Amino acid sequence: MRRVTTAAAALVLAGAGLAGTAGTAGATTGLAGRADKATAATACSTAWGSGEKTARDSGSQPLKNITTGRHACYDRMVFDVSGAKGKLGYHVGYVRTFQQDGSGDRIPVGGGAILQIFVNAPSYSPTTGKPTYAGKAGQPLPGVNITGYRTFKDTRFGASFEGQTQVGLGVRAKLPFRVLQSGDRLVVDVAHTW
């Protein structure tokens, strides 16, 4: 009887764990969606680290848009490179100062730490030279409102130079982050805590 009771208790605990996972998975809508309040108590993984992350893959499709979203465990920035096939290249890491690619001009970025993001996608059409994303050097990202975010504190467009786009992301502190690709979108998540 004791083994049956122990086995039943283990199944109940396993079921509770799956229910918590299912709630987390359904908490957001879309890549940059908002978190459901019910997931606020979810245990968050911070095993991503804060070291530089790089993928050397190259792309030729232009950047179309940048969006952000709040989640239970992290804030998310999404780079839309519609039409890109294969892997997207990037270089993401913390820097002391944010300097515009090409000119080297310093661009102030608010927050306790600066995450510099390079995406191998120009913000202009390589064939016509016409802009595909309306970012202006030193200015906040157009259409991005991070008011009320736990981790994101500021955004700045750096440059689109030699086939890549540069963004400065001001965050609360030097927190763990991850970079992943979902179809033709590059995703940067920065954890709320260690």
Instruction: Report the 3 state secondary structure along the chain.
Output: CHHHHHHHHHHHHHHHHHHHHHHHHCCCCCCCCCCCHHHCCCCCCCCCCCCCEEECCCCCCCCCEEEEEECCCEEEEEEECCCCCCCCCEEEEEECCCECCCCCCECCCCCCEEEEEEECCCCECCCCCCECCCCCCCCCCCCCCCCCCCCEEEEEEEEEECCEEEEEEEECCCCCEEEEEECCEEEEEEECCC
Same domain, 144 and 69: yes
> What domain range is 95 assigned to?
49-191
Q: Are residues 22 and 56 in the same domain?
A: no
Q: Are 182 and 88 in contact (CB under 8 A)?
A: no
Please report the pLDDT score of residue 39 as a whole number: 45
CA distances from 21 to 13, 18, 33, 42, 70 (A): 13, 5, 17, 9, 18
Examine the domain organization and report whether 171 and 113 are in the same domain: yes
Residues 13 and 54 both lie in one domain:
no
Residue 175, pLDDT score:
98
Q: Are residues 88 and 183 in the same domain?
A: yes
- Both tokens of residue 58? 């190259």
When pLDDT is averaged across residues 14-23 and rounded to a whole number, the result is 34
User: Is there a single domain that holds both residue 21 and residue 80?
Assistant: no
Does residue 123 sit in the same domain as residue 153? yes
Q: What total number of domains does the chain contain?
A: 2
Using alpha carbons only, what angle is made at residue 148 by residues 41 and 95, rounded to the nearest 5 degrees? 95
Does residue 33 surpass a pLDDT of 70?
A: no
Residue 142 lies in a domain: yes
Q: What digits encode the pLDDT tens for the residues 39-95?
A: 444 578 889 999 999 999 877 799 999 999 999 999 999 999 998 888 999 999 999
Residue 112 lies in a domain: yes
Residue 166 placed within a domain: yes
Residue 5 CA to residue 175 CA, distance in Å, equals 43
What local confidence, expressed as pLDDT, does residue 18 receive? 31
pLDDT at 191 over 70: yes
Q: If you search the block for the tokens 């459901």, which residue do you land on?
A: 36
Q: What is the pLDDT of residues 105-140, one digit of tens each?
A: 999 999 999 999 999 999 999 899 999 999 999 999
